[in-house]
Chain A
Amino acid sequence: MITEIDQQIARFQQNFALATDEIGKRIVGYEEIVQGLFISLLANGHVLLEGIPGLGKTKLVHTLSEVLHLKFSRVQFTPDLMPADIIGTNVMQESQQGEKFLEFQQGPLFANIVLADEINRATPKTQSALLEAMQEQSVSVGRQTYKLELPFFVLATQNPLEMEGTYPLPEAQLDRFFMKLKIVYPDTESLHEILNRTTQVDEPDVERVLTGDQLMEMRRTAREVPIARPIQEYAIRLTLATHPESPYARPIVDRYVRYGASPRGAQALVVGGKIRALLADRVHVSCDDIRAMLLPALRHRVLLNFEGEAEQIDPDTILEDVLANTPEPTE
């Protein structure tokens, strides 16, 4: 007996596969990154992509926007970029009667998918201009607040912080990213494929396969997936384990972590887990889903202390230790 929910799940999986397959026509070797991007998109979250220049971050985001029937804009962050450059500004206009008035000119933020390229090259002031938009999905200019069109999805790329001319993102802004995905250098086989596709006359074309409405329906479907308390308890334990001096904290956390993941981190684990469960054709979240979400959802939320920074501890190392040593709740 096929129920309405079964159909919903089937549509979800079908749309997801359509979109990722379409992206896969152009992007090679980043299947997990693409899946992460879509999970964030479906979870109503934003993604921070980190990787050295030239790995195709921008191309990936550009391809994503092409696959979706959504308004796309791109902002290249530079040190002299001002907040108004991305939000928009009031411009003095003159009517036909000669009256002057201020008219708000929308910035690139007024789109469904915003690519904030090399976000860490802009100053913290400009970076912070994204805060309200990312969390409230609205923009305030003067006394006026403008609602952004849904879905609103910020894809920020950044170069590793140790590179010159970069500004670390403020903690508050980091926390607003649903995931932080690390783009690693592609392997030889993937490089062959990349060269084959990009060094010919025609690049593979991608089609728009998903509309905004379909995305919104997928979002709703994902949120419907139930989660049992023991599984949720596991997500909470993992989150708490990133906090120094918490009952679940590991020695490595006590030693190197200044602040652990916020409740947004736990939310990301659960919502991401739900989407992963649907993708695995399950109508319940499992601990495996939570585990799979741990690194992308919490790595940017674990803030190192001085000792951790000095010893260049990778938050992934801490999280892997947490993952290995936090038992699933049992009765």
Chain B
Amino acid sequence: MSDNHSQTVDQERVVRTLTRIARRLRQARVTRELFYGFTWSLILPVSVSVIYRFVAMSWMAVAVLTGLWLLGVAVYGVTTILRKGTLLGAAEAVDRQADLHDELTTAYWFHREGRSSSWINLQLHRAAVTADDLNVDQLYAWSMPRRARTTAGLLALLLVLNLLPLSWTRSWLEAGPPPVVAFTDADQMLLTEVERMLAEVAALQDAELPPEMREALAELQQGMLTREQALAELEKLETMLDMLDSTELNHLMNSMAEALTSTNAESLIDALSDRDLDRAAEALRNLSTEMSDAEREQLQAVLEQIAEQAENEFEELAEKLADAAEQLAKGDEEQARQAMERLAQELEQLAQQQQGQEIREAAAQGLEQLQQALSDDSNQLQAATDEMASGDQAAAGMPQPGTQDPDALSMQAAEAGAQSAEQGQGDLSVPGAGDEIEYGAPTTLEVELLPESMELAPQSGDEPGEQLIDQPSQAEESKLEYQPVESDVTYGEADLLKANTIPLSYRALIKRYFQAVGPRGQHDY
């Protein structure tokens, strides 16, 4: 009983000491590993800061990177803090630290395994005495990890790079908004045209432009959307445009023409086949005055059939068709003529809607071109970023956009994809410069006529020959002294200039280009 009590007390003494040691070890480990992990993690923001010094980033990219970094650090920190050591591990550590020859390891293992014998009890007792004699505070005194200096250095560098407004730093806090796209003037014009066409389509259908469509158009015109947002808006517009489709009307006209083939109304059939509803209305009026009784009966049957077909999609037309068929059936010529007149008027109304279909297709094409323009512009965003970075290198003697000669600036103003390098954004419009055309000085060519070999008039007895003479060329062949100048036109724009057909959205660009390089006063072609 006494031995058991003594053994329990010894075990408790050992465990108590080991618990204290384990706590100290954990504190030391957590401190060490947090410094270690934090130091390594600092390499990411410092590297990004150095890169950011030369390559600008949007605030979104900065926010995402910072968020990911903080998240990673937090996960690492929590994992490190939550990881716990074992008492056996603590025993092993203290045995090494205090040169105890595995005394506490052995004692704790015996305790944990529940081993007992007189020898083991003696070992436990001796280990307990040793554990009591240990000065844990001295053995595991807190000290600053050696890595702390590196951590502090990196942290200071990070702060200097990002928070101190020095001439050679660029603060993350100054990061711009995400690259936005705004339509060029040409695209804006196209957008306005699309809006007009859409309004016209809606008007032809006796409707107003849906509010969602108006909203989408307004957002696009206001600009400051990301490329993805602009594309989404354009897709939304295309979807809504499909709702204004008049394909059903064409289908109905085909059905009507087919149904009428059993009658003698050839002019009406031709008009419907040609989808010319105005002509169809006129043919119907003529038919109402020239029909025989048999033809009237045939037409009545056909009109009833068509009325049934049109019932779902074209309710008013179906009513007029049914009315005409009914009047034809009654045999009252005047009433029948009036009913046919009403039907003709309805067809004329539908003809107006049909015109809207062509406008709709043009509007759809316009939207498609705007989408294409956005896709092309996305390739230029990188170039914009590079150009922006080159603006930072102005201090190193590199030419800045603002110091370019007026000719180059006028070229830039004419480019739809030109961007404001000074603003450091991917704005594809050129606020200020792009709105107003600047013309360069008229081009003059210094022409020097080439020396020319002239055939001399043969003299008597002499063979005709050539002699080099130094006089203005009679053939007007000339030599032009020139210096090679690199073009400011991008590859994409150069391709456009070479193209046989110019996409609608780039017409304004091309026009401005030729206006800019052309002689003054002659830019109105």
Contacts and interface: CB of A to CB of B under 8 A. Distances in A.
A287 B126 contact: no
B14 to A, nearest CB: 13
Nearest to A229: B109
A283 B122 contact: yes
Interface in A106-140: none
Nearest to B102: A286
A126 B88 CA distance: 51
Interface in A179-221: none
Chain A interface residue number, banded? 20 to 34
Interface stretch (B113-121, B260-268, B349-357, B483-491): B113-121
B122 A230 contact: no
Contacts of A3: 118, 122
Contacts of A328: 92
Contact of A284 (B86, B88, B92, B103): B103
Interface centre among B103, B107, B110, B122 (most CB of A within 10 A): B122
Given A283-B122, A331-B86, A228 B101 contact: no
A288 B122 CA distance: 20
A224 interface: yes
Interface in A252-306: 280, 282-289
A284 B89 contact: no
Contacts of A282: 101, 103, 126
Interface in B88-110: 88-89, 92, 95, 101-103, 105-107, 109-110
A228 B89 contact: no
B7 to A, nearest CB: 13
A228 B102 contact: yes
B119 A224 contact: yes
A289 to B, nearest CB: 8
Given A226-B106, A229-B109, A284-B106, A331 B89 contact: yes
Contacts of B122: 3, 5-6, 283
Interface string A42-71: 000000000000000000000000000000
A291 to B, nearest CB: 11
Nearest to A231: B102
A172 B82 CA distance: 54
A282 B119 CA distance: 11
A107 B25 CA distance: 63
Given A5-B119, A280-B101, A228 B92 contact: no
B101 A288 contact: yes
A288 B100 CA distance: 10
Given A5-B119, A5-B122, A286-B101, A229 B92 contact: no
Chain B interface residue number, banded? 20 to 34
B123 interface: yes
A330 interface: yes
Contacts of B92: 230, 328, 330-331
B342 to A, nearest CB: 98
B102 A283 contact: no
A228 B119 contact: no
A210 to B, nearest CB: 23
Interface centre among A5, A228, A231 (most CB of B within 10 A): A228
B113 A229 contact: yes
Contacts of A280: 101
Contacts of B86: 331
Interface centre among B105, B107, B117 (most CB of A within 10 A): B105
A286 B123 CA distance: 12
Interface string A1-31: 0011110000000000000000000000000
Nearest to B86: A331
A148 interface: no
Given A330-B92, A331-B88, A331-B89, A226 B103 contact: no
Contacts of B109: 228-230
A282 B129 CA distance: 13
Contact of B89 (A286, A288, A330): A330
Contacts of B119: 5, 224-226, 283
A287 to B, nearest CB: 6
Nearest to B89: A331
Contacts of B115: 226
Interface in B118-139: 118-120, 122-123, 126
Contacts of A231: 102, 105-106
Nearest to A9: B122
A4 to B, nearest CB: 8
Interface centre among A6, A225, A287 (most CB of B within 10 A): A287
A284 B89 CA distance: 18
A4 B118 CA distance: 9
A221 B89 CA distance: 30
Interface of B: 86, 88-89, 92, 95, 101-103, 105-107, 109-110, 113, 115, 117-120, 122-123, 126
30 contacts: A5-B122, A6-B122, A226-B117, A226-B120, A227-B106, A228-B105, A228-B110, A229-B113, A230-B88, A230-B102, A230-B105, A230-B106, A231-B102, A231-B105, A231-B106, A282-B101, A282-B103, A283-B122, A283-B123, A283-B126, A285-B102, A286-B101, A287-B101, A288-B101, A288-B102, A289-B101, A328-B92, A330-B92, A331-B86, A331-B92
Given A228-B110, A231-B106, 15 more contacts: A5-B118, A226-B120, A226-B123, A228-B109, A282-B101, A282-B103, A284-B103, A284-B123, A285-B102, A285-B106, A286-B102, A288-B102, A330-B89, A331-B89, A331-B92
Interface of A: 3-6, 224-231, 280, 282-289, 328, 330-331
Closest A-B pairs by Cβ, 4 of them: A286-B101, A286-B102, A228-B106, A228-B109
